[in-house]
Amino acid sequence: MPPWCPTTPYKGLFILVLAFVLLEYFFNTFTNSKIYNSNKLSRNAKEFQTYGPLLKTLLFKNNKTNVHNNTIIYTTKNESYYSYIVTEPSFSTNNLNSSPVTLSAISISTIEIKNDSRLYNSTLPLCPDDISSSLDGRIPIIRSPVPSVEELENRFTWLQPGGHWQPPNCRVLKSVAIVIPFRCRGEHLLLFLQHMHPYLKKQQLDYTIFVVEQDGDGPFNRAMLMNIGYREALEIKWFDCFIFHDIDLLPEDDRNLYTCPEQPRHMSVAVNIFKYKLPYPAIFGGVSAISTDHFKLLNGFSNSFWGWGGEDDDMSNRIRYHHLHISRYPISIARYTMLTHKKDKPSPSRYDILKQGEQLYDKDGLNSLKYKRIQRKFNLLYTWALVRIDSPS
């Protein structure tokens, strides 16, 4: 018998397992290298898909989390399907308050812009990356009284037409569009604007709020309105980042930055009605941040979900299909209060559309979007687009 042959069945089993581990390691490394090189936008896909099922079992066993380059990757039984990245804001949060505080009154004189407000003054210095000194941490949620449009316009005289603001004394490299699908929620819109304009201003953002209203009384199509908001915003100017925002969700912590990281970010992680717990790992609903390039890569949201539910899970599937990951801030920061409202009727076909999966990703989205813009106005508090979309018969 050759000297390298095992003398006991245990040694033979050990060598066999080791061989499988090595084969799987090299196979996964090769496979992910191909994915990485074939898609520059998914440059982080390889980083978080190195280990196959067998190797992960041997290395991590029953660990629910592992750490990679100071980033926590939370996993479930089906890690390749449900994994997401928990990141920290780009600045230190140690000195910020963790308890509610009272917002001080903002007193800033009106800024007169003679030229197009969309053009940067290249002579201005770049805005600092560390904005922690202007943030408070937890902030109060004001539900009543509901302000009037006139009250808000008198309060926010520093806004530019269209619900736009950018720092007057420094340049922000990336601009942000906040897109709100809307119909018949007048009080919620006023409470949202009252809360969000000071919130976004404190984060020193170059931002614009877009309200996309669906005309008529047909079934509501939230996803299509968000696709329309993306298209309408880019007709006005270039935006690097899109925040798709339900009107009834208000952030409770100003450390929750309204920016787009390298991966799509689910922002409304912990909502009060869910007892500040993540309902399920793959959720992407409520408030989400996607870069302009990624949104184009994903072909936007599906246009096929009429009524409540389904479109966010479809987007979550699209993100994984394109080898991207859902990123999230910690639950201690990404907290939201939901304003009370009557629930819409669920979409009766949402499960059937979800089952079709990747068959629709390249056909149903931005490239199949059809709508008619009835009116567009640049109000002081927001850019408003009234659109008509044809519901299925």
Q: How much of the chain is in helix, strand and coil states, percent to nearest 5?
A: 30, 20, 50
Mean pLDDT score, 11-27:
65
Over range 140-154, report the average pLDDT.
96
- Distance (Å, rounded) from C-alpha 146 to C-alpha 155? 14
Three-class secondary structure of residue 221 per DSSP: coil
Strand spans (E) along the chain = 65-68, 71-74, 84-86, 164-165, 175-182, 206-214, 241-245, 249-251, 265-266, 270-271, 287-291, 326-328, 335-338, 372-378, 383-388
- Under the banding of pLDDT at 50, 70 and 90, the label for residue 122 is low
* C-alpha closest to that of 50 among 76, 24, 29: 29
E strands along 183-313, which residues? 206-214, 241-245, 249-251, 265-266, 270-271, 287-291
List the single range of 108-112, 138-142, 312-316 with lowest mean pLDDT. 108-112
Instruction: State both tokens at 220.
Output: 């509501």
CB 381 within 8 A of CB 193: yes
Tokens of 364: 């149903």
**pLDDT digit string, tens, across residues 268-324:** 999 999 999 999 999 999 999 999 999 999 999 999 999 888 899 999 999 999 999
Position 359 scores a pLDDT of 86
Contact 97, 133 (CB under 8 A): no
Higher pLDDT, 28 or 266: 266
Which of 69, 62, 265 is closest to 50 using CA atoms? 69
52 and 28 Cβ atoms separated by less than 8 Å: yes
Condensed to tens digits (0 to 9), the pLDDT of residues 172-220 reads 999 999 999 999 999 999 999 999 999 999 999 999 999 999 999 888 9
Instruction: Pick the range with the lowest mean pLDDT from 45-59, 80-94, 117-131.
Output: 45-59
**Residue 40: band (very low, low, confident or very high) from pLDDT cuts 50, 70, 90:** very low
Distant-in-sequence, close-in-space partners of 264: CB < 8 Å, separation ≥ 6: 284, 288, 289, 290, 291, 294, 319, 324, 325, 326, 327
Exposure of 335 in the CB half-sphere (CA atoms within 13 A): 18
DSSP 8-state assignment for residue 253:
B
User: Which one-letter amino acid corresponds to residue 317?
Assistant: N
CB 135, CB 246: distance < 8 Å: no
Q: Return the pLDDT at 307.
A: 87
Classify strands 206-214 and 175-182 as parallel, antiparallel or unpaired.
Answer: parallel
CB burial readout 211-235, b (16+ within 10 A) else e = bbbbeeeebbbbbbbbbbbbbbbee
The C-alpha torsion from 173 through 321 and 222 to 256, rounded to 10°, is: -40
Q: Rounded CA gap, 299 and 365, in Å?
A: 5
Q: What does the alpha-carbon distance between residue 40 and residue 31 come to, in Å, rounded to a whole number?
A: 15
Higher model confidence: residue 393 or residue 138?
138
Hey, which bits of 75-161 come out as E strands? 84-86
Cα separation, 332 vs 315, in Å, equals 25
pLDDT at 255 over 70: yes
Mean of the pLDDT values across residues 362-375? 96
For 372, counting Cβ atoms within 10 Å of its Cβ (0-12 exposed, 13-18 middle, 19+ buried), the class is exposed
Tokens read off for 190: 């006023």
* Banded pLDDT at 335 (limits 50, 70, 90): very high
The length of the chain, given as a count of residues: 393
For residues 46-59, one letter each, b for 16 or more C-beta atoms within 10 angstroms of the residue's C-beta and e for the rest, the string is bebbebbeebbeee
Whole-angstrom Cα distance, residue 108 to residue 24? 61
CA torsion, ordered 144, 150, 156, 157, to nearest 10 deg = -170
- pTM comes to 0.74
Tens of pLDDT, residue by residue over 56-109, are 333 333 333 444 434 444 444 444 455 678 888 876 444 454 443 333 322 222
